[in-house]
Structure 1
Amino acid sequence: MKTYTRQQLALRNGQDRPEIWIAYLGVIYDVSDSRLWKNGKHYEHWAGQDLTEELADAPHTEKVFVKFNSVGHLIE
């Protein structure tokens, strides 16, 4: 699987490029087709970021990620 830096992930924010990606626990997910991520925003969260620490405040669990395709791994 491909690897991406934080800078590369940041470009997939729904604004700079058409892809809408987020990362969780080092895995990058493509949420472009989700109606909840239109324009790269999901409530107070923005795409193109690692949302691992923010999941604790979400009304859902990490099981939500099974709906989305993983496109790569986030490297530091």
Structure 2
Amino acid sequence: MPVYTRSQLALRNGQDRDEIWCAFNGIIYDLSASRLWRNGKHYEHWAGQDLTDELVDAPHTNGVFTRFTAVGKLI
């Protein structure tokens, strides 16, 4: 699996590029197909970031990431 830095992840925010990626527990997921992440924003969360610490406040579990393709690892 390819590895990406936080800077590289930040470019996949749905605004600088078409890709909408977020990281969770060191794995980067492609959320581009999700209608809930249009334009790189999901409620108060922004794409191109590590969302690990923010999941505590989410109304869903980390199982939500099983719906998306893992595209790399965050280093």
Same fold (TM over 0.5): yes
Structure 1 partner of 2:10: 10
- Percent identity between the aligned chains? 73
Runs of at least 4 residues of structure 1 off by over 4 A? none
Aligned residue-pair number = 75
TM-score (norm 2): 1.00
State the Cα distance separating 1:66 from its structure 2 match: 0.4
Q: Secondary structure at the match of 2:19?
A: coil
Flag structure 1 segments of 5+ consecutive residues without an equivalent: none
The TM-score, its normalising length taken from structure 1, stands at 0.98
Where in structure 2 are the equivalents of 1:14-29 lying within 5 Å? 14-29=14-29
Unaligned 5+ runs, structure 2: none
d(CA) in 2 for partners of 1:25, 1:63: 12
Note the aligned Cα RMSD (angstroms): 0.2
